[in-house]
Structure 1
């Protein structure tokens, strides 16, 4: 990792013409537009969602320390808080939106970062995106008129439909196909919100109102991973983020993740990654 890559830019959702609109749909080009808002090589941690549907070209992008491939038909969904490189020089369409804009009625639970869409799913996702993009351009760049009165509501509904259709496409998490499962979805959402304060399967099961056995079955069916693997995996991801992208002492990293004793954090990280926190940090700086 170069010195410049250790600096993380934080972007807030900014619309080219209206700062109060929480969605932006734009073509992806190698230069210009939002691509010029951060220096090349500098990592970004945005406060909004970024969905990229690639239509041409081939390149990789690092999102949260994992490499994801862009090619025609590939979709990448970068969620708020993910540390990522700028999109690569491929062709496609980018949809950026805030949680506030899409609203609480649409489930935005944690999920996969990338999809390789099959022909049927790709056709449907492209069709939904085309309608969303057309309405966006009419509302933002077209002449004023009666449509503006309900234009924002229309965009919100079309965005929700687009996201729901993405969620219906098969995707992978840790190499396993994720199937829709309400218990697992609630669990994954809670882990994302509470990983730094709740570390046990029993505590999550109790908070969600299920037995540990029910949670175990749902998690394995949906992700191929046990609840303990999901919890530990989220802790390891955040630890890696903090070790790779900040200069916080190891003890502070452990404290942020809910480990009162730094030695316990070091043991946990070593057991999960087969590297000490210090060794992992050193490996990212070479």
Structure 2
């Protein structure tokens, strides 16, 4: 089978290159999307995070095989290395904010409560007052980006933080009441998810993660259930399943190698794990995705 790779870009359509650790870039949605007939094919960025404020139009957001339809007054979040694409309605507009992975990770380390906004692809429907505030912030960022005034990076990062906080608050508003938890639970759950991201390829169990976080397995379970409505094991399995789908879709790796890359020592167990959660074997999934062009319905 021919090997397919995930297209990697700097900004869409531009060759990859090293990114300054405080890199921030702002442009209009129409500015780049119009050049590609309003269709941005699935791709990824090795070290960049996008935030899109949609003020006009709408479309479809493809994120790791899931489809998220959106209209105007929406904030889209595209985390690091997320395989994503867009099918914009013609004349859609707003802003695309791009930040370096190093900057995003520094913010996540210093403000763990923001991790849900920084680690999950999402289409957040906004209220009119939040949209108006974000329009001001994005417009100010564009002005700073185009200027060469002293302290422009400091101001730009402050505006970025304001955008992230607004996104977090709105995201929490949209969750069911039982999931609206802040404080120690959300911080611990965010740290756990960050640890998963760094270690999911290793054959670690939930107890190993709890030990790394210096808490009991029960304390970790409580924090995850209260702040995400999922158990620690479910979060770990979801990340491993996501990586398995990526590898089946975009690489020619064997099922055995994919199992190992996702933290499974036994390929047979991995196949059962995958089949139970998707309703089809890894090989059947790969065949179907190849036939449908890699987009799940």
Aligned partner (choices 77, 83, 100) of residue 102 of structure 2: 100
What SS is found at the alignment partner of 2:55?
strand
Tell me, yes or no, if the aligned pair for 2:202 and 2:262 is still in contact at 8 Å.
yes
The reply on whether 1:193 has 2:173 as its aligned counterpart is: no
Q: CA deviation at 1:241?
A: 0.9
Q: Work out the CA distance in 2 between the residues paired with 1:43 and 1:105.
A: 27
Comparing 59-68 with 97-106, greater Cα deviation is found at 97-106
Aligned partner (choices 187, 199, 208) of residue 203 of structure 1: 208
Structure 2 vs 1, CA of residues 78 and 105 (structure 1 numbering), >3 Å: closer, same or farther?
A: closer
Tell me, yes or no, if the aligned pair for 1:23 and 1:98 is still in contact at 8 Å.
yes
Q: CA deviation at 1:166?
A: 1.6
Tell me, yes or no, if the aligned pair for 1:112 and 1:173 is still in contact at 8 Å.
no
Trace 1:1-286 onto structure 2 (pairs within 5 A): 6-12=4-10, 20=20, 22-29=23-30, 32-33=31-32, 36=35, 42-47=41-46, 48-86=48-86, 88-89=88-89, 90-102=92-104, 104-106=106-108, 107=111, 109=115, 110-139=119-148, 147=149, 149-171=150-172, 177=179, 179-180=181-182, 181-286=186-291
Q: Work out the CA distance in 2 between the residues paired with 1:56 and 1:39.
A: 13
Q: Work out the CA distance in 2 between the residues paired with 1:248 and 1:99.
A: 27
What SS is found at the alignment partner of 1:59?
strand
Tell me, yes or no, if the aligned pair for 2:42 and 2:84 is still in contact at 8 Å.
yes
Tell me, yes or no, if the aligned pair for 2:203 and 2:264 is still in contact at 8 Å.
no
Q: Work out the CA distance in 2 between the residues paired with 1:133 and 1:40.
A: 23
Structure 1 unmatched ranges of 5 or more: 140-146
Scaled by the length of structure 2, the TM-score of the pair is 0.80
- Runs of 4 or more, structure 1, over 3 Å off, are 32-42, 105-108, 171-174, 176-180
The aligned residue for residue 143 of structure 1 is none
Q: CA deviation at 1:27?
A: 0.7
Tell me, yes or no, if the aligned pair for 2:259 and 2:267 is still in contact at 8 Å.
yes
Q: CA deviation at 1:34?
A: 6.9
Scaled by the length of structure 1, the TM-score of the pair is 0.83
Query: What is the alpha-carbon root mean square deviation over aligned residues?
Result: 3.0
Tell me, yes or no, if the aligned pair for 2:49 and 2:98 is still in contact at 8 Å.
yes
Q: Work out the CA distance in 2 between the residues paired with 1:44 and 1:100.
A: 20
Tell me, yes or no, if the aligned pair for 1:44 and 1:86 is still in contact at 8 Å.
no
Q: Higher helix share goes to which structure?
A: 2
Tell me, yes or no, if the aligned pair for 1:9 and 1:38 is still in contact at 8 Å.
no
Q: CA deviation at 1:221?
A: 1.0
Tell me, yes or no, if the aligned pair for 1:60 and 1:70 is still in contact at 8 Å.
yes
* Total equivalences in the alignment: 269
Note the alpha carbon deviations across 1:104-123, whole angstroms, 9 max, x for none. 14446323522112334333
Structure 2 vs 1, CA of residues 44 and 36 (structure 1 numbering), >3 Å: closer, same or farther?
A: farther
Note the alpha carbon deviations across 1:222-269, whole angstroms, 9 max, x for none. 111111111111111111111112111111111111222211211211
What SS is found at the alignment partner of 1:25?
strand
Comparing 202-211 with 106-115, greater Cα deviation is found at 106-115
Structure 2 unmatched ranges of 5 or more: 292-297
What SS is found at the alignment partner of 1:217?
helix
